[in-house]
């Protein structure tokens, strides 16, 4: 087995100029796949609300959802770091609640680190969590839990003032103690500027090629949802079609008395 991925290893890889990889996982089989593929980080994203639970956005996802899915991913992972998203309202109310929520994700679910969205307003919360010994990953740009505030999933940082704020927020998050930052839906040149301005790894999703690493939703890159094709995602396979055909073949064989046959009977 390869050496376990840790926050120190990620920092060393950034310093060495090695590109980093992160991919979402939501259960035991996807955690196992991500791990065996050699991905550095398995992110149990609250995007499970969209791609696993069928919600319109991430907002309805609960702490119980995150603990349930994170613990399943952890059971499938041996080498990768497992990072769990802190869901909506698990950290915004107070730093005290945030610490309790982060503690549950680590203690009950087995996560190695947590991720939360926001810039300067969450820095005190980041400090509170990291002071307790829990690694925190930041998230800037398009923060999905604020989708209603943004009026949809829109690229952030297009204006000079927005760009300056994002760079400033990134520096503030580093000072607060984050070990990495996700940069979502922002111009590539802004992501390059942020990446150069911080000593910790950046992970882009819809933020161009200049980040230290990339993160994607596993359902998008495997082509598991026909018609779901975000501009920032590349489908490396179309698994929906063969899976659908396999299920149809099973149904046909059962209906026609072909399965189970002698080979599959005792």
Q: Which two tokens stand for residue 100?
A: 């309790």
Residue pair 206/186 in contact by the 8 Å Cβ criterion: yes
- Known catalytic residue at 245: no
Please state whether beta strands 41-44 and 81-85 pair in parallel, antiparallel, or not at all (unpaired). parallel
Rg (the chain; Cα; Å): 20
Beta-carbon contacts of residue 45 (< 8 Å; ≥ 6 apart): 24, 26, 58, 85, 217
Instruction: Give the integer Cα–Cα distance in Å for 23 and 229.
Output: 16
Instruction: Give the integer Cα–Cα distance in Å for 184 and 230.
Output: 12
Omega prior to 260 cis, within 30 of 0: yes
| Cα atoms in the Cβ-side hemisphere of radius 13 Å centred on 19 | 8
Instruction: Give the integer Cα–Cα distance in Å for 188 and 211.
Output: 9
Catalytic residue among 56, 117, 184, 263: 184
Beta-carbon contacts of residue 257 (< 8 Å; ≥ 6 apart): none
Residues marked active site are found at 184
């Amino acid at each position: 087995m390869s050496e376990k991925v840790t926050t120190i290893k990620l920092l060393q890889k950034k310093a060495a100029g090695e590109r980093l990889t992160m991919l979402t996982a939501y259960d035991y089989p996807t955690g196992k796949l991500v791990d065996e593929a050699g991905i550095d980080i398995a992110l149990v994203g609250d995007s499970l609300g969209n791609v696993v639970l069928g919600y319109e956005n991430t907002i309805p996802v609960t702490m119980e959802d995150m603990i349930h899915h994170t613990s399943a991913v952890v059971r499938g992972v041996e080498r990768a770091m497992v990072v769990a998203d802190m869901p909506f309202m698990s950290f915004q109310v107070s730093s005290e609640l945030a610490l309790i929520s982060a503690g549950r994700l680590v203690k009950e679910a087995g996560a190695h680190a947590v991720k939360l969205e926001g810039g300067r307003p969450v820095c005190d919360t980041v400090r509170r969590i990291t002071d307790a010994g829990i690694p925190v990953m930041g998230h800037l740009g398009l923060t999905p839990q604020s989708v209603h505030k943004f009026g949809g999933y829109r690229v952030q940082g297009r204006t000079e003032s927005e760009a300056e704020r994002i760079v400033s927020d990134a520096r503030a998050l580093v000072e607060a103690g984050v070990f990495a930052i996700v940069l979502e839906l922002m111009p590539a040149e802004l992501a390059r500027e942020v990446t150069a301005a911080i000593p910790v790894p950046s992970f882009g999703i819809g933020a161009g090629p200049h980040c230290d690493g990339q993160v994607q939703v596993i359902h998008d890159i495997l082509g598991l949802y026909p018609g779901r094709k975000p501009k920032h995602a590349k489908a490396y396979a179309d698994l929906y079609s063969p899976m659908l055909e396999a299920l149809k073949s099973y149904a046909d064989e059962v209906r026609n008395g072909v399965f189970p046959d002698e080979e599959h009977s005792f």
